[in-house]
Amino acid sequence: MIEIIENGIQMVTTVVCTVIAFHRGLKSHKRAWFMLALASGVYFLGDVYWQLFLVIYGETPHISDIPYLSWYAGYLFLMLMMFEIRGERPSKKRRRILWIIPLFTVGMCIFYLQWGDWVSNIAAAILMSMLIGHAAGGLLAPRENPQKKWIYISILLFCAAEYAAWTISCFWMGDTILNPYFWFDTLLSLSFLLFPWALRKAVDE
C-alpha cells in the first residue's frame, strides 16, 4: 500500500512538471523547456506502468524493462535540456575532477550486478555517468548567468536520490513507511517540482 501511495506521489509531481514545462515552452519558445517536459513526461509513463502492475497484481513488476526504458529516456531528455543551456566547458584542469564520476558509477554497477541483470545495470551506469558528468561539468564551467547553477544542483540531487533508492532497494525492508527506499524515492519525486523553478532561473532570468 505504501508503495502505491509513494508511486502515486511521483506520478503527480511528474505531471505537474510536465504541464509547467510545456506551458513555459509554448510561452517562451525555448527548447530547454520542451526537453524538460519530455523528460518528466516519459518518466510519468514509466510510473503509470509500475502503478498499474502494483494495483492489478499487488506486487512490483517481474519484468521491469518497460518502465526502466521510460526512465532512461527521461535521463536522456534531461541531458538534452542541459545541452540547451550549457555555455563554456570547464577548464582542462577542472575536467580532471570529473573522472571521479565514472569510477563511482562503474563501482555501483558492479555492486548492483549481484541483484540485477547485466544489460539494465550497464545501461544505467552509462546514462548516469553522462547525466552526472554534464551536471557537474556545468557547475565547474564559467557561466554568464550564475543562476544556471541551480538546474545543475537539482539534477545532481535527483541523481543522488536515484542512487540512494537503488542502493536501499538491494536490501528491501518491506512495504512499510519505515523503509528508507520510500523516503529517497519521495525525494526524487519532489525534485521534479524543483526542476521548473531551477530552469526558469537558468533561461528566463
Most confident of 8-22, 60-74, 78-92: 8-22
Domain extent for 83: 2-204
pLDDT confidence of residue 204: 72
Predicted confidence band of residue 188 (pLDDT cuts 50, 70, 90):
very high
Q: What is the average pLDDT across 144-154?
A: 86
Arithmetic mean of pLDDT over the chain: 89
pTM metric for this prediction = 0.91
Q: What is the average pLDDT across 134-160?
A: 87
Most confident of 46-50, 96-100, 139-143, 144-148: 46-50
The domain tally of the chain equals 1
Please say if the pLDDT value at position 19 is more than 80. Answer: yes
- pLDDT tens for 151-179 read 999 999 999 999 999 999 888 888 888 88
pLDDT confidence of residue 23: 96
Question: What separation in angstroms does the CA of 162 have from each of 18, 87, 128?
Answer: 19, 26, 10
User: 10 Å Cβ neighbour count for 48?
Assistant: 15
Predicted confidence band of residue 27 (pLDDT cuts 50, 70, 90):
very high
pLDDT confidence of residue 205: 62
CB–CB of 170/112 below 8 Å?
yes
Q: What is the CATH number of the domain that holds 38?
A: 1.20.1070.10
CB–CB of 50/67 below 8 Å?
yes
Predicted confidence band of residue 53 (pLDDT cuts 50, 70, 90):
confident
